[in-house]
């Protein structure tokens, strides 16, 4: 057994009660002390796959749970650039993939998340449009 960092979806009406498992490189054994992770100031914008709600999570939201297999999490990190003229704001969106979603499916999922995604300057990416600047799965955050 290993320790794996987890988040609980902040939507109280989320149909899933299972925590969201985060990728973590070289996780400690279950009987070890949880690492001091993530660092202060850490933030993650994560979209729940079960309810489509996105929230920004912080260090205080992260817990640790026992996991049999430490390496079975595919966490997508997608960087979107706002298409509003003279904006260019880039935002990062994270979600878990449990079944080999295509990059296009991931993009569509982000664009219909709740609340609808905004750029760093408050433009609706659904209205202004967005360009995928990078899309990758991360083995650690």
- Positions that interact with Zn ion (CB under 5 A): 9, 11, 14, 48, 50-51, 82, 84, 87, 89, 119, 121, 123
Pick the closer one to Zn ion by CB: 2 or 125. 125
Pick the closer one to Zn ion by CB: 27 or 73. 73
- CA–CA separation, 130 vs 71, rounded Å? 31
Pick the closer one to Zn ion by CB: 67 or 119. 119
β 130-138/74-82 pair status: antiparallel
Going by the DSSP 8-state scheme, the letter that residue 114 receives in this structure is B
Residue 57: CB minimum distance to Zn ion, A = 12
- CA–CA separation, 126 vs 9, rounded Å? 23
Residue 117: CB minimum distance to Zn ion, A = 11
- Percentages (nearest 5) of helix, strand, coil residues in the chain: 10, 40, 50
Residue 138: CB minimum distance to Zn ion, A = 20
- CA–CA separation, 56 vs 64, rounded Å? 18
Pick the closer one to Zn ion by CB: 34 or 55. 55
Kindly state the tokens that stand for 32.
């070890």
Residue 39: CB minimum distance to Zn ion, A = 25
């Amino acid at each position: 057994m290993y320790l794996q960092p987890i988040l609980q979806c902040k939507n109280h009406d989320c149909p899933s009660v299972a925590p969201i498992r985060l990728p973590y490189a070289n996780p400690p054994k279950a009987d070890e002390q949880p690492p001091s992770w993530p660092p202060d100031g850490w933030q993650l914008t994560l979209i729940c796959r079960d309810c489509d709600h996105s929230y920004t999570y912080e260090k205080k939201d992260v817990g640790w749970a026992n996991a049999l297999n430490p390496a079975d999490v595919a966490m997508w990190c997608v960087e979107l650039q706002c298409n509003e003229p003279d904006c260019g704001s880039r935002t990062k969106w994270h979600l878990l993939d449990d079944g080999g979603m295509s990059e296009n499916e991931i993009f569509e999922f982000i664009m219909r998340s709740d609340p609808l995604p905004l750029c760093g300057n408050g433009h609706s990416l659904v209205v202004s449009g967005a360009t995928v600047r990078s899309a990758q799965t991360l083995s650690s955050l």
